[in-house]
Structure formats: C-alpha cells, structure tokens
Amino acid sequence: MISPSIPEWVQQWLTACEHTVFSQRLPITNWTFERAGHVQAVAPGFVWTATEEECWLRASVMVPPDWAGKRVGLWFELPGCEPLLSVDGELWQALDYNHGDVLLHEPTTGGESHTLEISCYSPSRGGEAILQTAELVVIDREAEGLYYDLLTASELLGVLSERSPSGKSLREALEQALQADTNAESRAVLAQFFTQHAAASTEPHVALLGHSHIDLAYLWAIPNTKQKVGRTFATALRLMREFPEFTFTQSQPQLYAWCKTLYPELYEQIKARVAEGRWEPTGGMWVEADCNLASGEALIRQVLFGNRFFEQEFGVTTKILWLPDVFGYSASLPQLMKSCGLEYFLTSKISWSDTNRMPHDTFRWRGIDGTEVLTQFLTAPEFHRGLNQEISTYNGQLTPFELRRGWERYQDKALHQEICHCVGHGDGGGGVTRRMLEVARRLQSVAGLGSCGFDRADAFFARLPKTNLPLWSGELYLENHRGTYTSQGRIKQGNRTAERALRSAELFAALAQTQLGTPYPKAALDTLWETLLLNQFHDILPGTCIRPAVEQAERELGEVVSGALALQDAALTELSQNIATPTDSVIVFNPTDTLRPSDSFYVRLPGDLVRKGRVLFTDPDGEPLSSQFLRMVGKEREYLVTLLEVEPLGYQTIGLGRTDAPADESTVVAEENVLENDFVRVTLTAHGELASIVHKTEDGEREALAAPATLVAYEDKPAAYDAWNIDATYRDSPCPLADEATVTRFEVIENGPVRASILVERQFRNSRITQRIQLWAHSARVELVTEIDWHEHQTLLKAHVPATVLASRATYEIPFGAIERPTHRNTSWDAAKFEVCGHKWADLSEGDFGVSILSDTKYGYDARENTLSLTLLKSGIYPDPDADQGLHRFTYAILPHTGDWRNETVDEAHALSYPLLARFAPKNPKAALPPRYDFVSIDDQGLIIETVKRTETDGNALVVRLYEALQTRGEATLTFGFKLAAAYETNSLEQDPMPVPFKNNTLTFPYRPFEIKTFVVHPK
C-alpha cells in the first residue's frame, strides 16, 4: 500500500507506469476444464465450486512471430483456488494471488508453441473459484524496471525524512525523472540517486531470509498442505533462475519428504540448489513442533528424524532451531537443543504476548539445567488487528517501512548492527515474489535506511556476537494462546498415549532382542514415530485446526497407538513364551525404573484355570498376594493383583495356584460416601465431590483439602482466537457443578481388597459426567477415572483442588524436568501466567507437606493462592465448530504427600501413566530365560530412565537415556542385566561418543540438576 505521505503526483505516475508494463496482451481463450474425468470447454469468466478437490485447466498458446526479441510472459487471475502452472509438462510456478505474473521467454524468438496445464486445488474450506484472467503478454523491460524504481522510491518517501540529505535528494530525483522524455532516461535519474546515496557503514544491515512459513494443518487439512508444498517450492525455484542473488530458507523436513514423493522433478532441483548454497534447509525438527505439549523424548526424535533426513538427502545438517510460530517454549529446550547439536534459536511468536514485552531480541537463553543457547527474535513489524497490537512477523513484505521499523523495534542495537528479516508469503501464498526481489535490488544500500541483502540464516547467526549478551533464564512463556494446552482433548490424549506406547514398544523390543535375538522392528517403529512427529505440529497437537485436520490427527494417532501396542505385545508374548515357569504363572513387566515399593496390575487368566476355590497369586517366595476378581472378558477372568515388591525395568514371575481359604481382610474399603486405606481417608459430599482427604502418617493425620475439590464450568468466549485462547475474564462466570448438575447415580461399585471405588454420575446441561473415584490399597493417590459425554460449546471445565498449603510458587512437570511458577499476582509477569502447561503432575508444597494433581493425558493447569487446578475440557467453536464434542475418557488423581514434590509425586505420576503389564504364562519349566530379569536399573531415585532402545546405526548396541528429575547433583550407577563390552556417553542423537569407564555390568557417572544423559552400551 502506498503511504499517504507520498505526493499525489508520484502515486498517479506509479499507477500509470504499472499499466504500461504489459505493452501487448493476447487473451487465452481455448481452455478445457477437467473435473473427476469430465472435460468441458471453458473461457475466461468460468466459475466452479469445490472443496478439497483438484481440477485442471488446459490450453495451448503460440507466441506471435512478430513478438520476436521481446520479453514474453503470462498473466493470470485465478481467485478462489490454489493453482500450480505447468508449461509443456514442466512444473513452472504457482499462480496464487501473489504470483499471477509468469516469465516465459527473455527474449522470445517468436512462434513458440506451449501447452499450459493448471492444477487448481480447491481449499479445505471450499468456495467459488473463477478463471478471471488469462493472457499472453509482452513485458516492456523499461516500463517494468521503471515501475519497480518508482515503487521503491515512493515507499522510501514514506520513510526518509524530508530534511535528510537522502530524503531531499530522492524528491528532487523523482521530480527530475518525471520530466524525462523516456522511461530509460527516468530510470537513469533514479539509478543515480541509489548509486550516490549509499548507506554508511555505521547504518544497520538487514539480512533478508527468503522464506515461506507453511502450516502443515490450520484452516486447511494435510492433503491441501501437500499441494502448497509443490506450489511454493516451484515458485522459489523459478525465481532463483531469474534472480541469482536470491537465497531461500525453508524448514520442516516433512515438507521435503512430501516434495520428494509428489514432486520428484522439483526435489532434484532443490538438491542442486542446496549443493549450490542458495537453498538452505533449516529448522532441525521434523516439523515445527509444539514445544509445550510434546514429551522431551519426542522433541529429541523431532531433531533426530529432521537432521537425519537433511543429512541423508542433502549432505547437510542445521544448527538452527527455527520455530517462528510456536506457542511458547519450554525451559528444558536449551539443553535439549544443545544435546541434539542445535546452537541457535529463532522465533517471533513471543511478540504476540498480551501483557509484557520481552526486554531483549538478541540474548542468551538459559534452561533449567543451566544450558544456554544464542537466541534471536524477529522484529519485522505487522499490526495485528485481531490482537490490536504490533507484533513481529515471519511473513515480511520487504518494504522500506518494514526495514526501518524492524530496526527501530530491535532492542539490542548496542550489541549488534544487524537484524534478520524473514521475507515471503506463507501458507500457500507462495513465498517471495518478483516485487520483493526487485525492491531488494534497489534497497541494497540507502543512506538513512541502511543496507539489506538476501542471505542464509546460518550465516546471520555466525555473525551474531557470542559474548557479553544479556541473559534470559527460564521458559519463554507466551502470554497468549493459553487454550492450546487443552483444546481438542482427544488429540492430546492420542499424543500422550502414543508417546507412552512407543516408549514401551522400544523398551520391550530391545529386551527381546537382547535376551532372545528377536529382530528389532526398527523400520516399523520409525514409521510410527514419523506419524507421531507429524501430528505434533504446532496447529495440530494444540488443537487449532479445522475439523478434517482434527479427524485425521485423531485417526493417525490412534493408528500409532495400536501399531506400537502391537509391537509391544509381540515382544511381551515372545518373552513370556521363553521364560522358565515351573507352574502356570503370571509374568509381570515393569516399563519404568521409578520407585514402586508396591503396585497393582491387571491380568487375564483362562476361565477354567481354577475350577474350585479361588485363584491364589503368590510372590517369588511363595507368599500370597492380594487379588480382586473384576469381570469375565469372553472366556477369560480379569483380576487385579497387588505386588508388594516391584522389580525395576524388566520382569518378574508370579506364581498361580488355588485356595479354598477366604480372601485376606481388605485394607481399602468404600462405605457410602467414604473411601479409606492405610494412607488416606476420603469423604465425599452429597454431590459426589471430595469434601475431605485426610492424609495418614506415622506422625498423625492431616487434612489435605482446605475446601471441597470441585468441578466448575466457565463461559469461555475469548475476544480473539477461540480455540487458541483462554482470557483471564473467564473467572467472572463460574458455574459450579455442585449447584448446576444433577447427580443421577452415587454408589459403591468396588470394595477391595486391591481397590475400592465409588461411582458418581452427573447430568450437566446437555452433557453426562461420570467419575469413578477409586482408592488402591497400596497408595495415597485418590484417582478420578472420568468419562464425559460433552455437548457444550465455548464452555471450560476445570477441576479445582483447594489445598491446606501455603506456597508462593507451584511446581509443574515439563519435558525432562520441572519448573516453578507463581501462585500470586504480584507483577504483570506473574498475573499473565493464569493458565500454564504441565505434563504428568503439578504440585503445591510447604516444607513438610504438599498436594499434587497427577494427570494421564491433560496439560492445562493453574495455581492461584492455595488452589491447584486442572483444565479438563475447552470446547471452542472456531476453527472447528464441533471441538471436543462427544466422548472423553481420562484419569487424574489427587495425591497428598509428606515433604515436597520430590518425595512421592514423580514416582506416583509415573505409576499412574505407566501401569505394570502382565501376561499369563502356562507351565514351561524348560524355557531358556530366568524367572526374573532386571534389564537396566539406576541406584538413584532422582534419575529417571526415559528411553531404552536399539541404536540408530548399530544393530546390537543399546541406547539408554535418562534425566535427573529432582534438581539434585551427585553420582549414580546404572546396572545392566548383561555384561558390557563397551560403553559411551553421546549426545542425544547418539553422536560424538566418548568412552566411559564400566565394570562388568555397571556404569557409574556424575550428574547435575535436570541433566539429560545418553549412553550407548554394547552387550558382551
């Protein structure tokens, strides 16, 4: 848009010049339109309507012989669809609203004939498309050049002060150019201005990063995105032929993988440009993933799969984590980056914060373990009407105003005289345009503005200062889009369940390979991981995309879960069949190494195993174990069994027999509205809410609840970005279910000796909420197994737990660690964190007592004074009008504990998320494997073994990845179930191996708070 400060005569001249760029026009009228195999003749003005569908327009053209020696192109206007042009069978460029101009010949010989084919992809939201204009044109070189001269000069008028030497000279040059007799003479006058008014060396420089930000799903679904890849990449490659100075930076290996499959001819061109250095693969991660919700291991796999693809396909890797549009950044990310070989971090999204502005744009970002990475914020301006504020954009239009304002907004001018500026339209807009490239040529160096030029992101980061930088410690919390922790609950449940299932599948496949030589299913696991990583994209996992994309994500995550469970079950079956069992037995597998003094497991036994009496479960010493019959599943009987001594990360064998003796007296009971075991006594209100949780210890009893733990609904109508946002004003409209819901069922349904449960069913408006409040004999955690059939819109549902705790800060689990956040609202920074992200637990603690919320699949929390809350549902209406409608199943728990969160919370959260797995094993005394096997264990409760898998490159070596979870330092020993031949410490990508000392089957190492450790071990 032309600045209003530009004189009217300049605007008029620019408009008139634009109309002369095409000196001759020849309409193309002989079109055919193909749709679903049906072909018809059409002409400009043809209209069609479609949704998520590809149609084709085809025509032939001949360049008139008398056009010989001229610059010839095409001009299209095709609104309502996303078109990709092919010329004579060669993919040419997009014809989107930014790229209607096409260069065919420079010059033409005249008489050339061409076949044109346009793939017209109708977007996911559908709509009307029209072949509005299609012309073969002669491009007047001088008129085109003058147009861009005038465009650049006119935009400069709005930036350069009339009092500055360059501003004054520019106006004089424009007036002189207007008086010239020819376009060439006018251009010579303006060229002289640009030559004589170069920027001084002390003026700022802007590194232009050609780019197109492509959301894998958003207001479109993935099939549409695949088409956007072809259009965007074809356009960038076409412009590279015309502008040798143009470099292009593109993230997300997933996009390249699609290009390789769908557009192999483009892919080969990209490989050539990468080799030339003009196309820069960047980003590191497989997709631009959400960094709040994905697990630490998943984020490592994002980089592993991403940079591995770049290295295998292009022979390069990147050191840049490129996440301009992700909704906040975990405080564990700096260490995770460094451990994966990523040195630099780039974003712009924090500029969307609604309350505070970050104080720096170039700084050291320090994570929870002390690791620091060099961070750069983009500063190119965009006024966001929905937010009513100026933000930083990654879709720069390359205007003098943007360059000037980007530098003005940069807060670290004393450190560096250079910023970077992402240039290009995103999301199907096709990236960089000819206009941008032409303007860039003219703005290379202008006094009063500075210099600019196309560059690579890695080169820009290499030039940034590395010392004496300001420091930001902790998370980069986005004060916006807080609803993304909760929207589309089934996607989030699918993600967490898939992460857990893949972890267990890898663990037990590695165990089966080590013990039995069973082939490790690496290819199958890689395929499942790629699907999971794709669905961690920052508009899919946060739940901020349209319904078709949501449905695809739910389906694909379900397939990952089922695929991983199939691999896990195959490994467990193979192991169970080869474990020596002198009698019929149960093999119990522990998928974690966290402390479980006792725990319970489900197991199914043949229905005819015991015909008289009852089944007797015994530990390895023959002592009876408490068990509880649950139900018949087909011809099998399902039981719950309490195991008093749980072995770590491996398996143990439980004996089976029969007895006529009565069951042991239960230590967990349910009576009307009371649940009680040796650790807690829980009392329910008449509405089925928790009125009291009394924590019982050797030192006495303590009430954990300051008031009943309640379910409260809130009206949730954010001012903007419905699925993304929760506004602080939601608290103004509470609707306690105790007041508004009707209890339709309230009864004891289980009564020990392993578990006792009370069922509460409520009708709330159009929705049904069923909770099984259950207590285990072995644990203080009070579980709320929840099933909700939800049919409310723009309604937030929260579980509030008022605790008898005085704490100014709450603690939340994040990937590979934990973080404290305020419970008060002392400052604007504190108040802005009224909804935050956590993983498996959140905690409020005093010095000797605390209360935690544990969650199997929920991520949205808040802590206000002494009340800790978990957000259960957020049912927005945009961009998906049916978000969160229907059935949801999840479990959360309330855990009173002694000490702070380090005492019990971490272990109990893992027990909730990673239950013991059990398999019936018929008598098999001659099998090869021992009845008990500890695969790998750690002697320090503060260290958690996160991953055990086969290495990426060595079929016999194993990776063991662990992290320190309690913010302590010390020395620990890993013990393996096999002797070691070699052991190495590596980075998280299994690179840079450093030999570490070991002895027989043990490996001792030092660790620091929240440190991630990766070891590669070779069994002897």
Report the amino acid identity of residue 866: N
- Which helix H or strand E contains 692, and what residues bound it? strand 690-697
- What pLDDT, on a 0 to 100 scale, did the predictor assign at position 2? 40
Asked whether residue 777 carries a pLDDT value surpassing 50, the answer given is yes
Cα separations (Å) of 682 from 142, 853, 911? 84, 15, 21
| Fold exhibited by the domain 935-1019 | Immunoglobulin-like (2.60.40)
Q: What is the pLDDT of residues 535-559, one digit of tens each?
A: 999 999 999 999 999 999 999 999 9
In this structure, are residues 429 and 422 in contact, taking their beta carbons and an 8 Å threshold? no
Q: What is the pLDDT of residues 432-462, one digit of tens each?
A: 999 999 999 999 999 999 999 999 999 999 9
Assign domain 582-659 to a CATH class: mainly beta
- Which helix H or strand E contains 852, and what residues bound it? strand 849-855
Residue 763: both structure tokens together: 């009708």
Q: Could you tell me where the DSSP H helices lie in 129-251?
A: 141-157, 165-178, 183-196, 222-242
| Fold exhibited by the domain 481-578 | Substrate Binding Domain Of Dnak; Chain:A; Domain 2 (1.20.1270)
**Around 369, how many Cα atoms within 13 Å sit in the side-chain half-sphere?**
27
Asked whether residue 100 carries a pLDDT value surpassing 50, the answer given is yes
Q: Answer whether the bond into residue 64 is a cis peptide, omega within 30°.
A: no
| DSSP-derived 3-state class of residue 603 | strand
Angle, nearest 10°, between helix axes 434-442 and 141-157? 70
pLDDT interval class at 648 (50, 70, 90): confident
Lowest mean pLDDT among 52-66, 102-116, 161-175: 161-175
Residue 421: both structure tokens together: 């500026």
pLDDT interval class at 942 (50, 70, 90): very high
For the chain, what are the domain ranges?
Answer: 12-139, 144-197, 205-473, 481-578, 582-659, 669-913, 935-1019
Arithmetic mean of pLDDT, 95-120:
96
**909: Cα separation from own chain's centroid:** 23
Cα separations (Å) of 859 from 486, 542, 822, 824, 829? 6, 10, 17, 20, 21
User: How many Å apart are CA 263 and CA 276, to the nearest integer?
Assistant: 20
User: Exposed (0-12), middle (13-18) or buried (19+): which is 315, by Cβ within 10 Å?
Assistant: exposed
Q: What is the pLDDT of residues 816-833, one digit of tens each?
A: 999 999 999 999 999 999
- The model carries a pTM of 0.97
Give the residue among 438, 439, 399 at the shortest CA–CA distance from 421: 399
| Fold exhibited by the domain 205-473 | 7-stranded beta/alpha barrel (3.20.110)
User: How many Å apart are CA 352 and CA 780, to the nearest integer?
Assistant: 42
Asked whether residue 5 carries a pLDDT value surpassing 60, the answer given is no
Asked whether residue 1 carries a pLDDT value surpassing 70, the answer given is no
Assign domain 12-139 to a CATH class: mainly beta
Strand-pairing partners, residue 382, are: 391
Q: Answer whether the bond into residue 879 is a cis peptide, omega within 30°.
A: yes
Order of all β-strands in the sheet with 599-606:
599-606, 636-643, 627-633
pLDDT interval class at 6 (50, 70, 90): low
Asked whether residue 692 carries a pLDDT value surpassing 80, the answer given is yes
The answer to whether 582-659 and 935-1019 have equal CATH topology is yes
Give me the chain's average pLDDT, please: 96
- What pLDDT, on a 0 to 100 scale, did the predictor assign at position 10? 86
Report the amino acid identity of residue 744: T
| DSSP-derived 3-state class of residue 526 | helix
Q: Percent of the chain, pLDDT > 70?
A: 99
CB atoms within 10 A of CB 808: 11
Q: What is the pLDDT of residues 578-633, one digit of tens each?
A: 999 999 999 999 999 877 778 999 999 999 888 777 899 999 889 999 999 999 99
- What pLDDT, on a 0 to 100 scale, did the predictor assign at position 4? 45
How is 100-164 classified by DSSP, letter by letter?
-EEEEESS--S--EEEEEEEEEEPTT-EEEE--EEEEEEE-HHHHHHHHHHHHHHHHHTTS-TTS
Report the amino acid identity of residue 348: S
Question: What superfamily does domain 669-913 belong to in CATH?
Answer: Golgi alpha-mannosidase II; domain 4 (2.70.98.30)
